[in-house]
Structure 1
């Protein structure tokens, strides 16, 4: 804060405040100096304001001036708490915040706008405006007037890339996936393909001119997909309360269901269109059959024509049939055809029903045959057993003696095998337990290392982003420094900035060292805690096995449990002590901060001002009574 207070004092001197040379900190500012500095800063920011630089002797006038200053500071955008007490009964932190805000609002020397922080958007806007101003200042020349890309750029001739311009054509690139994530397993074939057989990105496009366009398009697609997934996960995925894999699986199922619905809908539309087409074709066909006579009608017409010819040849007069007879014959023929069609349809339906019944009966018969085959196999096995039993009946005593001998030999063999297995089982169980504990410890260590690697990657990404931002800020500051006039004496600012930078570097080094020490201590604590837990688990298992047999081992087991419990309580007590010590330090910091607010001095000052206010009120009342009586 010393550098900040020095810059505030230097700025107040530069705008005309009477700040003595030995005053270098805000804590040394008097009430009159605070009021004068705030008033002068406000007059520089807004010349239309009419604020006095000195405090009058009257207490009511002082309160009015303090209220006016607070209102003026709030009008120019100050968001903190400010009132007449901020200036009349000043606190070091509040006055420092007010002066920092006012100094940031002061106009620059070259009549530029208010100083703003150089962020990424500000840098982009400034670079765009600078490039537009440069382009506007240059004379415009058509492309066909630029021979071989030569153009004038204000001070000299330059060559532009007009001779080698080509269209933006991108080609889809095959890029290895899943190599950056250590938790994702990759098969050997895939890794071999990525390392040996997959062509490089510059060799995948057909033309070398399309390499840059393909890389830009591929990068843009990956970034857009990443941003879309982050937006979707932050808006929809988090509210679903599902893990990432579960949410992706659910989304995939929804997409597949939607695709199947679309396909089924399109199939239904196609079937309806096909039905309409078949109906139109059938309508056309029936229309064609209506215009044509049937085969029987043709035969009938030919027959009647021959009869008419015979009758004409015999009698000499033509025989004419009426239209009603012809229509009646056609209806009879149609009725006969309908009856025949109905009979055929009924026969087909009957045959279909019979075939369905035959199929059901055949299925039932097949199931019954399968059941009979299974029962036959069981009966065959039962027959074999019974046959062997009947074969053994003639020599029953001898066979029983042989069976008893075999049973005894089998039981002795089982006992020997059991003893051999017990001898082999004990070292195997011990080895298994040891390997299990070792695997668990290795798993926990690998998990911890993986978490540390992920944390380091996040920090690396954040540091890379901060570095790029700082580089952009540095470039912009260099450009602005080159544009600024060099005859301005800024040695005081430069000296203070260098001191601030050196102090920040020292603080950063100390902070980094403290962080390293803290991290190493935490790592040691974690290792010792894990080692303690594992040791207790192993010891507990070893003693618990023998505690059931010996009384001394049982007492040792109780003492071990009590020791572990006491150690846990001791560790908890140490942790609670650390928490209490941190709370004590926080309270001490709060006490020191309250002490810096000069509460006692402000209270005494308020008491004096109250006494003065009462004295002024009594004088005014006496004057009022005197005028009223007169």
Structure 2
């Protein structure tokens, strides 16, 4: 385990975790260091949710609990299948932390070496030419505008230093497996402009196309990754999985809106603070309506104040219209009225705040009083029970001998009854235990079968991806060969090419036979390993049951049971070490091949 811990510590230091030089194994990690290491790894694996996670633990216990739950949820989102919760980070256990860190380190993106064989064909040649020109332009040093010579006019002109801008494009295509409406098809066929005509300027057309292409490609890759890592575990169709995910997202949005709407009274009376987020959100949902129409319900106090303001405003309007004063007096009177109304408005806001504070204080006080009342009632009930017991004891004291004999007889009767019930329970317990063991065995066999089928499905997906890539490479090779064939002269004899093609076909058939033989050997070996693993698990279960049954009576058998458990644990560790050694050897072999190729 020390070598594994050293590898983990080295990988954590590479992602930015500050691990001290005196720390040599995972068991020396503190809770703060564990949280920092996990957050750093999650940020490298998935920067989206990892960017909002804190790298340090807050001082409060409730805040620590929330951080632990957030980290556990983030680890489960990226595919961790082990048992994890807030206790994993706050009360660390060395094996759990080691397994979690090993999973995160394995999920870290690795730099892939460049392939030595460059792709060929017209498109590949064009891509290399574009890359060469861009590298040459980037290598030229920048010169200020006033110091430029005619030499720099081609690469550093004003036209070449324009800022790229991206505009959204509407492309006339739809995803496979989805039916579009007839009107949408007619719109895309007859009315929708070409992609080159949708951009307002020619300079932004290329950047808009690249942005659209990258958005589509990234969404496809994200869905592919999510389906292979999480979607297959649900055992649902892709369309059903997407609908369930959309339903969960809508439920979360509803819960967030409901929790924001059910806030304290200060958020309801948001007139004094019109810049609150809740009022902006409600105003956005209800449109540009006046703020006094947003809250459709109100208390008796708000209705009384509104009615008072309406009467005062009506009286003011009637006085202004009936007076017929001059224009200056009217404006002065309106300013005074406005100042008076603003003062009354501020006074009402302060009264509302004071009333809300008093309500909170009274609610806290009433809660404390109710708690104290419940505690007193519990104490009173306990005292009454004690008093009843003492009263009964005092009543039994005058005739103590007879009462003791009666109590002794009741105790003996109860003991005999307990023995009788125990014998009856043993009769019912034996068949139930047998049924439980049988069901456990069936469940373990079904779990093993489902895990085997899941691994086969994943293996088939990997084969499909490899076959797709191989088909793409063969398509490129075919295009290249067609290009070369068109460029070759027509007067060359075909016998040499025919002989060469036959030799290549023979080599390919031989390689196919070798590959088929290797695959069949691998399948037989995997099948044998699965059979031996199942047989080993069943044998250990039966042995454990037999030894545990005899360990209750014999001390030597109890020691044998402990040795059996230790042997099982050591064997599991040995098998895990062998698998890790094989993985490391494969990685070493791959690295050696890459070094030899480069």
Question: TM-score, length-normalised on structure 2?
Answer: 0.37
Question: TM-score, length-normalised on structure 1?
Answer: 0.35
> In terms of Rg, which structure is larger?
1
